[in-house]
Amino acid sequence: MAQSLTGNNYSNHTMTLNGQGQVTATPDLAVIRLGVQTSGYDLTQIQSENAQIIQRIIQSLSQAGIADIKTIQYKIDKLYEYKDGNRIDKGYSVRNILEIRTNDIYQAGDIIDTAVNMGSNVVESISFELSEPELYYQYALNMAVENAIQKAKSISTNLHQKLNPIPIRIIESGSSPIPMQQFQREAAATPIVPGQLKIEASISADFLYA
């Protein structure tokens, strides 16, 4: 990690140090993205078919107590196939994707099984997240500041210099995005284990020593 000792004179020296902090947390939010894709030559028909299946999925999930359901994608594509340089009309594709959120992360498998049983043929992803990520980031940020302070104390002791342990400036260098654990589900009743998430923060801090 980069660190530097700079100063204009011997009575006013500064040291600039980097600090890192990291915490781990158990996710408390499952986000599932799934839906239905239909295709055919009659656009009105495949739209209707798609809508009926989506409605069955929503009703079944609602009956199971899942309330946070929303549409995140509705897409109609014209399909073509090329043969011997000629474009052949293959009809249309209708794709309707729902996003389902639940605080019962171990319910994710049952949600997918229910949707698949009702006709879902697209399961895009399952992600496990934190409902309050900023809280954990603040912990990591405080750890980063403390890390920089401990470095400053160690350096000043080694140089036999008097240190002001309170930084005169702190710059938040950035944070790592909270990873979303992604899973692809291939078969019903496959266990899904969320694991742990890591949240990181880094800062740059200036200290005065004499």
List of domains in the chain: 3-26+132-180+196-209 (3.30.110.170), 29-129 (3.30.70.2970)
Q: 62 pLDDT exceeds 90?
A: yes
How confident is the model over 14-33, as a mean pLDDT? 94
pLDDT at 205: 96
pLDDT at 193: 67
The position carrying tokens 């594709």 is 93
How far apart CA 187 and CA 181 sit, in angstroms, is 18
Higher pLDDT, 5 or 60: 60
Q: 181 pLDDT exceeds 70?
A: no
Alpha-helical (H) ranges within 30-160 are: 43-63, 108-117, 133-158
User: What average pLDDT does the chain have?
Assistant: 87
Query: Is the overall model pTM greater than 0.75, yes or no?
Result: no
Q: 51 pLDDT exceeds 50?
A: yes
Q: Is the dihedral of CA 29, 55, 184, 192 positive or negative?
A: positive
Residue 7 structure tokens? 């100063």
